[in-house]
């Protein structure tokens, strides 16, 4: 109940702002909703964005259950994509798709995990705070990628910093292709089979956290590090495990973006998903189910917002970011704001 009220409050606030810049809020809302779920194409794009948000949301949540605040999803996604792309560039001429795809996915996980492992190691053994180091590693990742794209991986003869196009074996099938094969026609969109990977990750994270001894130890560390020490858990190793899993999950953004959409390594594909993952995890209460719901909301906002910005020129992309920001504010920082009101309302209703 409370999350819904928070979202509603955010929308009311947005409505007031939209009113101030001279647009009818209800009209804008209708455009937003239609833009997000109005057609099979727009639903496809919404789900494609949702996939990214699930990956980064899960990444933040896993670390968070271990008491670690991973702000580095952005960089881990970037480097995960690099790993994915490198594997494909190296092997796509030799391997068929059924072998290429798992290897590329594994490479994305490995590179993402490796990028998270360095801050984890620095925190576990050297005591550097993980919030600081993961933020810095985002910048390092961005700089590294620019260097690599401009100087090393750029396709020969190309004017834009992007790699050569992957061959067919380095392409993840689109959902509309798969559905067409079983006789269901939907409009083409960016939605690809990464969404299946995202759902598998949700189930995997749920099983890991609540049904394995390591997940148990990880949560113990997050809730009460002293109890974890008492229980005989090696906190250094557990920090490494939590962050590597987190980085691997963030790295899957690269799978969705590069293998699913761009078909080549490009610059700036994480586009803020890593940071938005923090909000998604926060809203989803760090539970896979909640993260799926929050990711759907963010995906719909992303897609519907793009349509909105297209239809009404006075509402810019930045305005959509404001909406996201307000939702984060209301469901994060001000989460208990309506609670007293709600309680007194419930008490009144009960009378």
Partner 1 sequence: MTAAIELQEIRKSFGNVHAVRGVSLDIEKGAITGIVGENGAGKSTLMSILYGLYRADAGEIVIDGQPIDMASPHDAIAQGIGMVHQHFMLVDTFTVLENLILGVEGGPLLAGGLAAARAELVRLAREYGLAVNPDAKVADLSVGEQQRVEILKVLYRGARILILDEPSAVLTPQETDQLFRILAALKERGVTIVLITHKLREIMAATDHVYVMRQGQVVADRRTAETNPEELAELMVGRKVRLELDKTAPHIGEVLLEAQHLSLVDGRGVRLLDDINLSLRAGEIVGIAGVSGNGQSELLQVLSGIRRPTSGRLVVRGRVIEAHHPSDPAEMRDLGVAHVPEDRLRQGMVAAFQASETSILGYQDEPPFRRGYLLDGPAVGKHCARLMDQFDVRPRAPGLRSSNFSGGNQQKLVLAREMSREPKVLLVGQPTRGVDIGAIEFIHRELLRSRDQGCAVLVVSVELEEILSLADRILVMFGGRIMGEVPAARADERTLGLMMAGAQA
**Does 339 participate in binding partner 1 (rule CB under 8 A)?**
no
**Does 40 participate in binding partner 1 (rule CB under 8 A)?**
no
**Does 207 participate in binding partner 1 (rule CB under 8 A)?**
yes
Q: Which of 33, 103, 118, 219 binds partner 1 (CB under 8 A)?
A: 219
**Does 183 participate in binding partner 1 (rule CB under 8 A)?**
no
Q: Which of 143, 146, 180, 212 binds partner 1 (CB under 8 A)?
A: 212
Binding range to partner 1, per CB under 8 A, among 147-155, 212-220, 239-247, 326-334: 212-220
State both tokens at 73. Answer: 């999803």
Q: 174 phi and psi, to 5 degrees?
A: -75, 150
b vs e for 164-178, b when ≥16 Cβ sit within 10 Å of the residue's Cβ? bebbebbbbebbbee
Instruction: Give min distance, CB of 60 to partner 1, in A.
Output: 19
**Does 232 participate in binding partner 1 (rule CB under 8 A)?**
yes
Instruction: Give min distance, CB of 226 to partner 1, in A.
Output: 5
Alpha-helical segments (H) within 154-287: 175-181, 194-211, 213-223, 225-230, 235-254, 273-283
* CB of 212 or CB of 314, closer to partner 1: 212
d(CA 24, CA 218): 49
Find where tokens 């896993």 sit.
62
Q: 29 phi and psi, to 5 degrees?
A: -65, -40
Task: Quote the DSSP letter at residue 173.
Answer: P
Number of residues that bind partner 1 (CB under 8 A): 19
Residue 174, SS3 per DSSP: strand
Cβ within 8 Å of residue 115, ≥6 positions away: 72, 75, 76, 79, 80, 137, 141, 247, 251
Instruction: Give min distance, CB of 241 to partner 1, in A.
Output: 14
Cβ within 8 Å of residue 244, ≥6 positions away: 113, 114, 116, 117, 120
Whether 71 and 131 have beta carbons less than 8 Å apart is answered as: yes
**Does 217 participate in binding partner 1 (rule CB under 8 A)?**
yes
Please give the C-alpha separations between residue 259 and each of 90, 110, 349, in angstroms, as whole numbers.
14, 16, 53
**Does 226 participate in binding partner 1 (rule CB under 8 A)?**
yes
Instruction: Give min distance, CB of 147 to partner 1, in A.
Output: 40
Instruction: Give min distance, CB of 209 to partner 1, in A.
Output: 11
State which H helix or E strand residue 168 sits in: none
Binding range to partner 1, per CB under 8 A, among 49-57, 119-127, 207-215, 248-256: 207-215
* CB of 173 or CB of 225, closer to partner 1: 225
Whether 288 and 202 have beta carbons less than 8 Å apart is answered as: yes
**Does 22 participate in binding partner 1 (rule CB under 8 A)?**
no
State both tokens at 174. Answer: 């689109």
**Does 230 participate in binding partner 1 (rule CB under 8 A)?**
yes
Binding mask 61-100 for partner 1 (x = CB under 8 A): ----------------------------------------
* CB of 164 or CB of 219, closer to partner 1: 219
Task: Quote the DSSP letter at residue 155.
Answer: P
Q: Which of 168, 203, 227, 345 binds partner 1 (CB under 8 A)?
A: 227
Instruction: Give min distance, CB of 126 to partner 1, in A.
Output: 16
Q: Which residues contact partner 1 by CB under 8 A?
A: 207, 211-213, 215-217, 219-220, 223-224, 226-227, 229-234
């Amino acid at each position: 109940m409370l999350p819904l009220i928070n979202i509603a409050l955010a929308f009311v606030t947005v409505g007031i702002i939209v009113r101030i810049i001279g647009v009818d809020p209800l009209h804008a809302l209708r455009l937003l909703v239609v833009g997000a779920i109005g057609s099979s194409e727009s639903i496809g794009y919404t789900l494609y964005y949702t996939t990214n948000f699930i990956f980064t949301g899960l990444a933040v949540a896993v670390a968070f259950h271990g008491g670690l605040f991973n702000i580095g999803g952005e960089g881990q996604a970037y480097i995960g994509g690099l790993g994915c792309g490198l594997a494909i560039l190296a092997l796509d001429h030799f391997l068929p798709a059924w072998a290429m795809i798992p290897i590329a996915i594994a490479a994305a996980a490995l590179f993402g995990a490796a990028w998270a492992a360095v801050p984890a190691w620095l925190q576990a053994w050297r005591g550097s705070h993980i919030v600081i180091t993961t933020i810095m590693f985002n910048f390092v990742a961005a700089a590294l990628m620019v260097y690599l794209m401009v100087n090393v991986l750029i396709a020969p003869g190309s004017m834009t910093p992007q790699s050569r196009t992957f061959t067919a074996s380095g392409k993840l099938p689109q959902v509309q292709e798969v559905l067409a094969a079983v006789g269901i026609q939907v409009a083409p969109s960016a939605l690809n089979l990464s969404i299946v990977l995202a759902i598998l990750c949700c189930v995997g994270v749920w099983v890991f956290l609540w049904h394995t001894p390591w997940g148990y130890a990880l949560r113990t560390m997050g809730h009460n590090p002293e109890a974890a020490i008492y229980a005989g858990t090696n906190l250094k190793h557990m920090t490494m495990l939590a962050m590597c899993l987190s980085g691997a999950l963030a790295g899957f953004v690269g799978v969705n973006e590069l293998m699913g959409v761009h078909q080549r390594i490009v610059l700036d594909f994480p586009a803020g998903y890593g940071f938005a993952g923090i909000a998604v995890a926060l809203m989803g209460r760090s539970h896979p189910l909640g993260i799926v719901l929050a990711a759907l909301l963010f995906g719909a906002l992303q897609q519907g917002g793009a349509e909105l910005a297209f239809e009404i020129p006075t509402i810019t992309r930045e305005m959509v970011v404001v909406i996201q920001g307000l939702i984060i504010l209301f469901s994060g920082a001000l989460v208990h704001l309506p609670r007293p009101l709600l309680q007194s309302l419930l008490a009144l209703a009960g009378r």
